[in-house]
Amino acid sequence: MRTYIGGHQAVSATDFVELALGTPVELWLGVEGENEMERVARLDAARDILADNPSLPDDVSRIAAEAIEAYAPELFNVVPLVRPAVRRTRSRKGAAA
């Protein structure tokens, strides 16, 4: 099964997230080994995107909830655990006859 978002094929989970959000995941999460200047530039770009699209956090939450609901329904199948019956032994506290 192929997944397309806006005419682009999502090959991996990262592709799916990037296409759904319209921005690369690394913009929000950063990359390992980035220097301070790269970090400042990344955060500045993220602030600009949020300023231009203030509903983005709500959209992300909605997309995540829809993905969880569609692709992982077993996460919500909660079954109460049954406690094993506790056996109590009778104590014999009397004197032997």
pLDDT in tens, 2-51: 666 667 777 777 777 777 777 888 888 899 999 999 999 999 999 999 99
pLDDT of residue 92: 65
pLDDT in tens, 79-94: 777 777 777 666 666 6
pLDDT of residue 66: 82
pLDDT at position 75 over 60: yes
Structure-token pair, residue 55: 């509903």
Q: Give CA–CA dist 54/36, Å, rounded.
A: 26
Task: Please name the residue ranges forming H helices in the chain.
Answer: 13-21, 25-29, 36-52, 56-71
Question: How many C-beta atoms surround the C-beta of residue 30 within 10 A?
Answer: 14
